[in-house]
Amino acid sequence: MIGQTDLFNYPLILAERVARAVLHRIDPEQARDLALIALRARLTPRRAAPTSDRLRTTVAGINLLNPVGLAAGFDKNAIAIAPLLKSGFGFIEVGTVTPHAQSGNPKPRLFRLAEDRAAINRFGFSNDGAAVIARRLAARPATGVVGLNIGPNRDSRDRVADFTDLLKTCGAKVNFVTVNVSSPNTEKLRDLQGAESLARLLDSVLTARDGLGDKRPGIFLKVSPDLTDADIRNIAAVARNARIDAVIATNTTLRRDGLSSRHATEAGGLSGAPLRTTATRILAKFYGELKGDVPLIGVGGIATAQDALDRIRAGAQAIQIYTALIYDGITGAVRIAEKLDSLLAKEGFQNVSEAVGNRP
């Protein structure tokens, strides 16, 4: 049965299906850019974020109408914040932004792996730079939860300074800032996940955050799926000691196990369905180490409400999606949130928090 809001949106829902088929026939990066244009032109279905007593949750002191978020990477330059906040997400994350604008890696740098319901990207933090994006963030709607993913410039001589400069420039304009030390597309960036380097980085970032006074954002850390158990123990200890606000598990992977697509050998980070099992395992291991001391956000291969519930039961207090939207459209956020509400009720959970870490 189609509700009132769905009836209003039905022509746009049909148009989205047709548009998705057309977009899949053109270059993936061009398709993403056209999708952003469509969002800004209000040519996509608009929906308030689905919510209920079961779906409402809190992550690091941030109240969410539902736990389904948009991962960084789609709206890299913060140009579609307002329409994305009207697309059913409980929260969104934009970026990655670097202190100075950079063009990123040569094109093509985004590949659809349709047979695998996956994508490979090697953008290399292409973005308009902190000054431009800070102005866009300042003009965002007053309501809605927005995070910003930050990283260093490729040619930076002081990557720690890049992160702290970004906090000073953009931090007061968002609800949370994600420290990205896990992208595989910036040379030696993942070296910052080492315990000593990470501790120094987070200390500097938190000091810069504290300088923002009452406009301090939450500080989240995004980690790689390509971690050993020892890596996880070390990162978890640093995260706990630093008292950061959340860990996002995980970024894209360099692994290529079991892929069917002709693009499987392309360089870059793999996202989507093939990452599901690994990302869930890494998140569960972080939950085992952190024991609730630091909230977790699950991302990587989530495409259905069952995927979302599985990630919550593995320890996530919220989840993020991105690659699934390539195959299911922007309305995927609404479908996941609404079905998640039903699944939580079916499993006997009164709210998201009751399900966190409650594995069957």
Catalytic residue numbers? 183
Contact (CB, 8 A) for 249 and 220? no
**Any bridge partners for residue 95, and if so which?**
149
Distance (Å, rounded) from C-alpha 49 to C-alpha 66? 7
The Cα–Cα gap between 265 and 259 comes to 9
Nearest to 71 by CA among 269, 322, 253: 322
C-alpha dihedral (4, 8, 10, 11), degrees to nearest 10: 170
CA 91 – CA 71 distance, rounded (Å): 9
Of 233, 221, 278, 286, the C-alpha closest to 252 is 278
Q: Is 76 helix (H, G, I), strand (E, B) or coil?
A: coil
* CA 297 – CA 290 distance, rounded (Å): 13
3-state SS assignment for residue 164 = helix
Query: Which amino acid belongs to residue 301?
Result: G
Q: Which of 222, 136, 143 is nearest to 177 (CA)?
A: 222
DSSP label of 173: G
What is the distance between the alpha carbons of residues 278 and 254, in angstroms, rounded to a whole number? 12
Region at 263 (left for phi over 0; alpha for psi -120 to 50; beta for the rest): alpha
The distance from CA 110 to its chain's CA centroid, rounded to whole angstroms, is 17
How, if at all, do strands 269-272 and 118-121 pair? antiparallel
What is the DSSP secondary structure assignment for residue 218, as one 8-state letter?
E
